[in-house]
Structure 1
Amino acid sequence: MNSFKPLVFSGVQPTGNLHLGNYLGAIRKFVALQESHDCIYCVVDLHSITAQLVHDDLPAQTRSITAAFLAAGIDPKKHIVFNQSRVMQHAELAWVFNCVARIGWMNRMTQFKDKAGKDRENASLGLLAYPSLMAADILVYRATHVPVGDDQKQHLELTRDIAAKFNNDFSRKIASLGVGVEMQMGEENVSGFFPLTEPLIEGPATRVMSLRDGSKKMSKSDPSDLSRINLTDDADTISKKIKKAKTDPEPLPSELDGLKERPEADNLVGIYAALAERSRQDVIAEFGGQQFSVFKPALADLAVDRLAPIAAEMRRIYADTAYVDSVLRDGGERAGTIAEGTMKTVREIIGLLAD
């Protein structure tokens, strides 16, 4: 019996401009993972309609995310870049998983509670079933690893629960067809058709907060554009936003503990450390005791150095619509071949007649 080959899957929703938090928390990690894994990166346009059905220009948003992937350094020839709706097997497997998952599992999802708010009865069924589609995104490729942030850990745990229940419910059929694959569960070796996908955490977690309020995450939906650095911002805009970022009147502390009750200072130190690929302790060692009038210009220069070239390349790629569409088309064809191989076996396991 074979084992699963390492494969990374991850997706980004095409909703609004990507910002610094998306880059540091996800896209930069996507680029690094190319060196060690086979990767499939998806613009998850079906997910984007779960909470907001009508978008001003979904095609443009999809192309913008794709351009960001490419500008940051993702290679669409060696790996796969595509938009989710091109591969119908995502939705097909999601329906199967809707029948595997339990309503109680979905009701416990923290993100559903947050997005639905107090008016849960008025939330779309798609929003409730969002994690089931996410599980299908991952498992239609039988992906072994997913880079996740704190807000997606619960969904990945649900993906594992769905995979385990499918494997258990159809264990005899999987064995009779000889399509089971060995995997490690704790100290035991078990078999199943779907892997129990593992979270992939590369280095220290990067949680980027608003430049206007250090207690809130940097967000595309914040009404103030000064709260975030967009990946499309030019050098002057990046520098201006850093220099206007909210701070307090005290100098930077000489020890990390001194940042605990200073969210804005803590956020800027974290951004500097992430962009420079250094530890926060290193940053404090260099700038501790200095005023923000010294630190902010240094951070602005660093941010411009790291981000302005990506922004310029992203704008160049986005302007070439034919090229972006060709990347998505080619990626969709390659992804579809893998996904159909999985679904052909799933249909056979379940007993669905399809020629």
Structure 2
Amino acid sequence: MSDNSVGKRKRVLSGVQPSGNLTVGNYVGALRQWAREQYNFESFFCVVDLHAITVPYDPLALREKTREVAALYLACGIDPEVSTVFVQSHVSAHAELTWLLNGITPLGWLNRMTQFKDKSAKQQVDSVSMGLLDYPVLMAADILLYQADAVPVGEDQKQHLELTRDIAQRFNHLFGDTFTIPDPMIPPTGARIMGLDNPTAKMSKSETGSEYHAVYLLDPPNRARKKVMRAVTDSGREIRFSRDPERAGVNNLLELYEALTAQSREDIEQQFDGKGYGDLKKAVAEAVVDMLGPIQQRYEDLTRDSSYIDNLLARGAERANEVASATLKTVRERMGFLEPLR
């Protein structure tokens, strides 16, 4: 059962893996929304480092990127005085609840996960980890530990959130009302920014196939401009929003511009009426650079003293552990585990 009594703010929880480089897509589809909504909810934002080890990784890079992602949370507007910012592995309840939920999660549910199929297809069969298959159960544990009412997610994570709801409902049926059933929060624009080099695939922070795939939040201005100017378009001329797959590149640039400028689609189409793709790319590039400037300055300020981020994460883990431990205690009791004498 949720520990959110009537009258209290509802809770949200979300997180990003410390792998690859955070992109403009991460910002407009997730981080910006978190910053806006944190004042309306009791917010928990974690760096999900346990998720990052489900595929081959570099331990040194993991540690470095964990701090980087945490600092970028703050640079993008997450206020540590308002929201709880922490590292997933710093709260051991995440791993324990995952194992407990494994006991009630049918294998068939996991085998249906599209993301597992996609990621495992890119690896040799013998190298696919059990963690990759179990990834959605860990995600469920992340959410359910904090009795989250809502989870800001992109379209690609909706299936995992649906699984979280299924697991929570199954647990509640078996052991009594224990978990809050979370709802998705998907922003109306910018929820799914696509790759600049391949507008049919979501912009990914871990894509290494092309240096022009994504604009990273820490890209210098000239680099960001160059990437946008190299974006794939088509052989047409009309600059209008479209669902035509043949026009996916232009539509992706328009949706990115829409997300960054908050202009209406009608106004944007009027702005580019009679203009060419080069004009569109220049406008998008400048909007991107204008967005990145304050984020990068804030990031530089936050990371001058490396101990600041570590201390902030320690405080966040302490608060997160208070909430997670209470949920885990209830779960253990209802599942019939004998508690050790203190």
Aligned partner of residue 199 in structure 2, secondary structure = coil
The 5-angstrom pairing of residues 106-145 of structure 1 reads: 106-117=110-121, 119-120=124-125, 122-145=127-150
Equivalent residues of 1:6, 1:37 under 8 A apart = yes
Q: Give a deviation string over 1:223-254, Cα, whole Å, max 9, x none.
A: 3222211100122222222223233354333x
* TM-score, structure 1 as length reference: 0.88
Q: Which amino acid aligns with 2:120?
A: A
330-339 or 307-316: bigger deviation: 307-316
TM-align CA RMSD: 2.0
Corresponding position: 1:153 with 2:142: no
Would you say the 8 A contact 1:242–1:296 is kept in 2?
yes
Equivalent position of 1:178 in the other structure: none
User: Is residue 154 of structure 2 the alignment partner of residue 168 of structure 1?
Assistant: no
1:21 aligns with 2:25: yes
How much does 1:343 deviate?
1.2
Cα distance change, pair 18–167 in 1 and its aligned pair in 2 (3 A): same
- Within the candidate set 77, 80, 86, 2:81 is matched to 77
| Residues 9, 40 of structure 2: 8 Å contact kept | no
The alpha-carbon deviation at position 346 of structure 1 amounts to 1.4
Residue 76 to residue 264, structure 1, CA distance change in 2 (3 Å): same
Do 2:12 and 2:44's aligned partners in 1 also have CA atoms closer than 8 Å? Answer: yes
Paired letter, 1:19: T
The answer to whether the 8 A contact 1:84-1:90 is kept is yes
Instruction: Report the alpha carbon displacement of residue 208 of structure 1 after superposing the two structures with TM.
Output: 1.3
Query: Would you say the 8 A contact 2:234–2:249 is kept in 1?
Result: yes
- The answer to whether residue 227 in structure 2 is matched with residue 223 in structure 1 is no
**Aligned-partner Cα distance in 2 for 1:76–1:193:** 28
3-state secondary structure, aligned to 2:86: strand
8 A contact 1:97–1:136 mirrored in 2: yes
SS at match of 1:11: strand
- Does the aligned pair in 1 maintain the 2:9–2:41 contact within 8 Å? no
Assess if the C-alpha contact under 8 Å between 2:15 and 2:45 holds in 1: yes
Percent of aligned pairs with the same amino acid: 44
Once residues 109 and 265 of structure 2 are traced to their aligned partners in structure 1, the CA distance between those partners, rounded to angstroms, is 38
Matched, 1:237 2:237: no
What residue is the counterpart of 2:307 in the other structure? 322
Partner Cα distance (1:209, 1:5) in 2:
34
1:269-309 CA-to-partner distances (Å, cap 9, x unmatched) read: 11111100123332112112211232222222221111122
Per-residue CA deviations over 1:51-85 (Å, capped at 9, x if unaligned) read: 22544421110011011100011001111000000
CA separation of 1:48 and 1:258: change in aligned 2, threshold 3 A? closer
- Provide the TM-score with structure 2 as the length reference: 0.92
Match of 1:33 in 2: 37
Unaligned ranges ≥5, structure 1: 172-191
**Partner residue in 1 for 2:331:** 346
Counterpart contact for 2:12–2:41, Cα < 8 Å: yes
User: 2:46 aligns to what SS in structure 1?
Assistant: strand
Which blocks of at least 5 consecutive residues in structure 2 are unaligned?
none
Query: Which range moved further: 268-277 or 207-216?
Result: 207-216
Q: Letter of the 2:269 partner, please give it.
A: I
Q: Which residue type is aligned with residue 219 of structure 2?
A: D
CA contact 1:31–1:73 (8 Å) conserved in 2: yes
Work out whether residues 151 and 182 of structure 2, in 8 Å CA contact, stay in contact via their aligned partners in 1: yes
Change in Cα spacing, 1:259 to 1:166, as seen in structure 2 (3 Å) is: closer
